[in-house]
Structure 1
Amino acid sequence: MKLNNIEHVFFDLDHTLWDFEKNSELAFKEIFEKQKIAIEIDEFLKVYSPINFRYWELYRNNSVSKEALRYGRLKESFDSLKFETEDATINEIAHEYIEYLPKNNHLLEGSLELLELFKNKYRLHIITNGFEEVQHKKMKSSGIHQYFETITTSEEAGVKKPHPGIFQTAMDKSGANIDRSVMIGDNLEADIIGAHKFGLQVIYLNSENNGEQRQFPQVQKLKELLDYL
């Protein structure tokens, strides 16, 4: 079912357009080789991924700081793997990860093709909880920065999705009419429920086909957005 009268399309970035999992794996591979960390990447990521997800939930709810997130997710992962390393090394890896991560440029399947189709049809924007100093670099290295009129980060807004304040900041920056705007993202709580409560139309990118929520329009692949837009 097509959404009518849409003029502004707001995207989340990580896990929605930018392939966070692939790019994160490449960053850790490079860092572990440099630091001589004797852990298989697949083994590390199996432990790290759910820990990282939990830390981002805590960060979104203001339960941990940015610094605590960067250190804690690594510390817990190494501890779970019974890999002993000094705090100084963990802090160094945390710093290098932020440096190396945005250098990788893999996008999710269909991202560029979709943006090419949308660029002359809609005004495009990003709303992200990612860190200010990293998100712009990610977009530039992956070649998608030029598609977006505005990029609103949680650090700029002072609040994180699903807080209405970040959506209001994005509206103010873009000059968008809420009734003519749609939010697309992969996180049901932060992107979809948050935007819906604010008053935006939403489309849930449910790549993993998790659960059976039927309240909101959803797609598994980016190309399926053409069914709605």
Structure 2
Amino acid sequence: MKYRLFLLDLDDTLLDFRASERLSFKRMLASLGVPDTADAVFADYQGINRGLWTALEQGEISKDVLKVERFRRLFALHGIDADPRRASDSYLDWLPQTVVLIEGARALCDALAAQGEIGIITNGIEQVQSRRIAVSGLADRISFVATSEACGHAKPDERFFAFSTAMARRFVKSQTVIIGDRLEADVLGANRYGIDSCWFNPARLPNDGSATPTLEVHALRDIPSRFAAC
């Protein structure tokens, strides 16, 4: 295996963010005394949230704006009489308490840690991500965590990857690979920074963008053998 530095995305690569997101959202509504109309309201939240995260990654808004704005827009859309800032605080408090691992995440981290150094690269909110990693049981396999909040730039910005690799014990481009589920953030960022990438694509989605992964896998358990062949 030529790789010695493994930069892993967190949400929907190692941790099942969708499962955590839904449960945290339901608990947030309950804490505010808002009736749970789950599916319709949650679907709208996801759409609003995705749009704001895209704006963040394009440098159009800040993370502090995103945290509250998603709930402000959602509550306005559904006529919900609740404080969006309180909703944000409650939701971010619940997220680290609802951690679900993607199948194969622990075995993957064991295998990669035996071969080199693991760093987490995430556009998520630093305080929340640190707590989620601690709860996940994966922390002892991880050497460092790089967040866009600490860096000031988000994936796929090259400055984020320069910030991340500077945290590694040793960085050699040819021995570094990014593993992530998002073409437009993880793989495109790797392309721009000049390092290899492994696209985790469990849903077998088509690649209809400009990002080009070095490898594509559909299950985490397949990654060590694919890397061994490199």
1:184 deviation in Å? Answer: 0.6
* Deviation per residue, 1:109-158 (Å, 9 max, x gap): 11112112222122111111111111111100111111111111112222
The answer to whether the aligner puts 1:142 opposite 2:142 as a matched pair is no
Q: Does 1:58 align with 2:55?
A: yes
Q: Is the 8 A contact 2:14 2:105 kept in 1?
A: yes
Deviates more, 1:34-43 or 1:151-160: 34-43
Q: One-letter code of the match for 2:96?
A: P
Q: Does residue 30 of structure 1 match 2:27? A: yes
State the distance in 1 between where 2:50 and 2:181 align.
13
Which residue is equivalent to 1:45? 42
CA contact under 8 A between 1:207 and 1:220: conserved in structure 2?
Answer: yes
| Partner residue in 2 for 1:181 | 176
Letter in structure 2 aligned against 1:218: E
The aligned residue for residue 219 of structure 1 is: 217
Report the Cα offset of residue 185 of structure 1: 0.7
Map of 2:80 onto structure 1: 84
Measured in 2, the distance between the counterparts of 1:65 and 1:172 equals 24
Greater mean deviation of Cα atoms: 117-126 or 8-17: 117-126
Amino acid at match of 2:201: N
Q: What's 2:102 paired with?
A: 108
Are the counterparts in 2 of residues 171 and 178 from structure 1 also a CA contact under 8 Å? no
**Offset at 1:21?**
0.8
**Taking structure 1 as reference, are residues 42 and 148 closer, same or farther at Cα in structure 2, changes over 3 Å only?**
same
Amino acid at match of 1:167: F
C-alpha RMSD of the superposition:
1.7
Matching residue within 8, 13, 37 for 2:10: 13
Q: Identify the residue that residue 189 of structure 2 maps to in structure 1.
A: 194
Give the one of 116, 120, 133 matched to 2:127. 133
**Alpha-carbon distance in structure 1 between the residues aligned to 2:123 and 2:212:** 24
What's the offset of the Cα at 1:209? Answer: 2.2
Distance 1:85 1:209 in 2: 40
Provide the C-alpha distance between the structure 2 equivalents of 1:61 and 1:32, rounded to a whole number of angstroms. 30
Preserved contact between residue 179 and residue 200 of structure 2 (Cα < 8 Å): yes
TM (norm. structure 2) is 0.90
Aligned identity (percent) is 26
How far apart are 1:67 and its partner, in Å?
A: 2.4
Partners of 2:108 and 2:68 lie apart in 1 by 36
Is contact 1:59–1:65 with CA below 8 Å preserved after alignment? yes
Matched, 1:160 2:154: yes
Could you tell which deviates more after superposition, 44-53 or 159-168? 44-53
Q: How far is 1:51 from its partner?
A: 1.5
Query: Equivalent residue for 1:206?
Result: 201
Unaligned runs of 5+ in 1: none
Aligned residue-pair number: 223
Q: Quick check: 1:75 aligned with 2:65?
A: no
What secondary structure does 1:173 align onto?
coil
* TM norm structure 1: 0.91
Question: In structure 2, what is the equivalent of residue 99 of structure 1?
Answer: 93
Contact 2:31 2:90 in 1 (8 A): no
SS of equivalent to 1:182: strand
What amino acid is the match of 1:147?
Answer: R
Could you tell me how far 1:168 is from its partner in structure 2?
0.9
* Cα displacement (A) at 1:62: 1.8
Q: After TM superposition, which residue ranges in structure 1, 4 or more long, deviate above 6 angstroms? A: none
